Amino acid sequence: MPDVHPARIQQVRTRIRRFARRRRRPLAAISAGLAALVALAALRSPAAPALEASDAVSRPGLAPGSVAVPITLATPALARTVSVGDVVDIVSVTGTDDQSAATARVVVRAVRVIDVPDPGGSFTSASTPVIVLEVPEGQAVPLIASSLSASLAVTIRQHAFSH
């Protein structure tokens, strides 16, 4: 260990004290900021993964690569036929006016119903038949596009049994 003269140690202590006295407020602000950062780091979950773009639309309990998509069905009666946990196909129906023949096509197959909002709740109006589906990310945009351009109907593949 190097030999340090006690007078040199005293000189360094004096300089540190003088520095601290002259810059007391900035040092206090820096210390408070560091304390806040340490507190935030301690409160943060140790297993919290970094968020990705796809996580912004994901809900807890969804399969990896799936997103929650709310859709409006053609009639309230259709929404009353499904329940949470049902596996359904969504059918797009176009040309339902009197001037053209109706055509139907399946937009998504075998997707799970994850929510059927209360018709009187804040998410829907009393006459809006909405259900929320767990859909693979790649099928979400075509489903949303179909919901804006056509009437949607549902076919139930597997009905969830309620206990």
Name 57's Cβ contacts closer than 8 Å, sequence gap at least 6.
67, 68, 140
Per-residue model confidence as pLDDT tens for the chain (163 residues)? 567 788 888 888 898 888 878 888 877 777 777 777 777 666 664 544 443 444 434 456 788 999 999 998 888 888 888 999 999 999 998 876 666 678 889 999 999 999 888 766 554 455 678 899 999 999 999 998 888 888 899 999 988 765 4
For the sheet with 151-158, list strands across it.
66-72, 130-136, 103-115, 87-94, 151-158
Angle at CA 134, nearest 5°, toward 59 and 70?
85
